[in-house]
Structure 1
Amino acid sequence: MSTDLLARLIAAGTPADLVAEVAMLAAQADTDRAAIQSRRAADRDRSARRHARSRDDTLDHVTTRDVTGASPSPAPSPF
């Protein structure tokens, strides 16, 4: 919350207890916003690590689709 806004509230004759309450609510909102941003950053980091770990795990698995150069077995004769 800007000090300019507080000064305008005081200049407008807003009671001091109300100005204090507004200032406290604004400070709490700033704190809450910072906590949310921190939580989101931690969630992004955790998700990126999980994604990287998952990607690393799949690099070690070989499937029949991964094998190249192998010719498929011929289809059995209908007779």
Structure 2
Amino acid sequence: QKLQALGPHANNLGLWSAKRPATDEGMGSGVLWLEQAATAEQAAHDLFSVLRDLDARGVTQIWVQLPPDTPEWEGVRDRLQRAAA
């Protein structure tokens, strides 16, 4: 919904999420989407390389889909909180 609210004004935005937003949900050409792994182990492995990749591509904002609030995803959530600080 937040992405949709930006509409065509989404510019230089990096999005790391499990599912690619549909074009009618506001995914315009200014949004660079990278697929988030389906497993906590792989997402934890990918996290910092994804953030570095988005930064290297010059995005000005990075949005990340929060992982499930389950014990196996706790480490990924912790790493995301640290990266956002």
Q: With CA pairs under 8 Å and 6+ residues apart, which has the higher RCO, 1 or 2?
A: 2
In our comparison, the structure showing a higher alpha carbon Rg is 1
**TM over 0.5, yes or no?**
no
TM-score, normalized by length of structure 2? 0.25
TM-score, normalized by length of structure 1? 0.27
More strand by share: 2
More helix by share: 1
